[in-house]
Structure 1
Amino acid sequence: MSAVTGRVRAARHVAGRISLTPLLVRVGVFLLALAGLLLAYPAQVFTGQTVLALAAVALLPAVAPRRVWPTFAALVTVGGWLLATDGYGRSVALWRLFAVAALLYLTHTLCALSAMLPYDAVVDPDLMLRWLIRAAGVLLATCVLGVLLVGLADLGSGQGLQAATLAGLLVAAVVTALLAWLLRRQ
């Protein structure tokens, strides 16, 4: 009983000291993760229990962004996308693909921010603005590159999305290798 009592006291202590910005960032994580889940899954599977389960999955990274829960929520979102496209035969709409990808990225980046913010942090609004502008820049560049890759892939054959996926993975691998090289150089 003492371990449970200790955790309850710690939760009360945190709840009493939480400031507005870290709370809003965590609410943003929850809302973005939930929106991504709802957009990825097919409408045919939505029942009260399913929506409640998806809300619980979206709540986990907001509550514990330093743990495995952001990855878990992203995998559940991707699983919903695969279920919708392969299991229910929903066609791949470019707007939906970009929206789910953007929501996954925004959830990930806000999880990283909330993992670094203490509950009682006083945050300069310029920090939040710079963080969101950088995220918007990444999303814009990704969407432009994605549209170009899909457009180029459609010119060659009927396997356009597969070619675009492989090209995107190649670009991601090259960028990751370049960043790793740059970090080692410093």
Structure 2
Amino acid sequence: MNAVVERVRAAQYAVARVSVAPLLVRAGIFVIVFAGFALAFPAEVLSGRPIFFLAVAALLPAFGPRKVWTTFTALVTVGGWLLATDGYGRPVALWRLLAVAALLYLGHTLCALAALLPYDAMVDPELITRWLVRSAAVLLGSAVLGVLLLQATGTGGGAGHQWVTVLGLLVAVGMSLLLGWLLRRR
């Protein structure tokens, strides 16, 4: 009984020390991941029970940004995109493709920031602003480069966007494997 009381007091102490900035970053993770789900999945799937499961899945990287949940939600988003385009025949719109890619990147980079911030960290708002400005610069450069590559290769149709999506997923998995191998080698 004494151990339970001590754990409750420890939890109360930890909750009392939580600061606003790490909570806002984690709330941003939830919003961005859930928005990615909403854009990627077909509208027919986003009703009833599936929306509840997607909301729970969007909470997972917010609570565990250092764990596998970031990768899991990215794969769920890509799976939803492929389900919408292949399974439900939704036409591929460039704006939606770029928006889903941007949300995937923002979710990933905010998880990286949240992994560095303990719950009780006192954070200068300029740090978060600089982080988001850098992310916006990467997104802008990637969008411009992506559109230019699509135009240069002439893969403007739906099959071209699907091909680029699968190729991008393969590159991401390959880079993850390469980075993991390099880290283990160290």
Q: TM-score range by the shorter chain?
A: 0.7 to 0.9
What do residues 128-171 of structure 1 show as CA deviations (whole Å, max 9, x unaligned)? 11101100000000000010011112179996436656886899
Answer whether contact 2:33 2:107 (CA < 8 A) is retained: yes
What do residues 90-132 of structure 1 show as CA deviations (whole Å, max 9, x unaligned)? 1111000000000010000000000100111111121111101
Deviation at 1:13, TM superposition (A): 3.4
CA distance in 1, matches of 2:4, 2:118: 23
Please report the TM-score for the alignment, with normalisation by the length of structure 1: 0.81
CA distance in 1, matches of 2:138, 2:71: 20
Deviation at 1:75, TM superposition (A): 0.9
Q: Give secondary structure in 2 for the equivalent of 1:123.
A: coil
Q: Which residue in the other structure is 1:59 paired with? A: 59
Q: Give secondary structure in 1 for the equivalent of 2:81.
A: helix
Deviation at 1:12, TM superposition (A): 3.5
Equivalent residues in 2 for 1:18-167, closer than 5 Å = 18-154=18-154, 160-161=160-161, 164=164
CA distance in 1, matches of 2:22, 2:79: 29
Answer whether contact 2:150 2:156 (CA < 8 A) is retained: no
Please report the TM-score for the alignment, with normalisation by the length of structure 2: 0.81
CA distance in 2, matches of 1:170, 1:48: 32
Q: Which residue in the other structure is 2:14 paired with? A: 14
Percent of aligned positions that are identical: 62
Paired letter, 1:38:
A
Paired letter, 1:120:
D
After TM superposition, the runs of 4+ consecutive aligned structure 1 residues lying more than 2 A away are 1-14, 155-173
Deviation at 1:11, TM superposition (A): 4.2
Answer whether contact 2:92 2:158 (CA < 8 A) is retained: no
Answer whether contact 1:153 1:159 (CA < 8 A) is retained: no
CA distance in 1, matches of 2:54, 2:94: 23
Q: Number of residue pairs matched? A: 179
Cα distance change on mapping 1:121 and 1:106 into 2, 3 Å = same
Answer whether contact 1:102 1:139 (CA < 8 A) is retained: yes
Cα distance change on mapping 1:123 and 1:157 into 2, 3 Å = closer
Larger mean CA deviation between 38-47 and 150-159 belongs to 150-159
Q: Which has the higher contact order (CA 8 A, sep 6+)?
A: 2
CA distance in 1, matches of 2:77, 2:33: 8
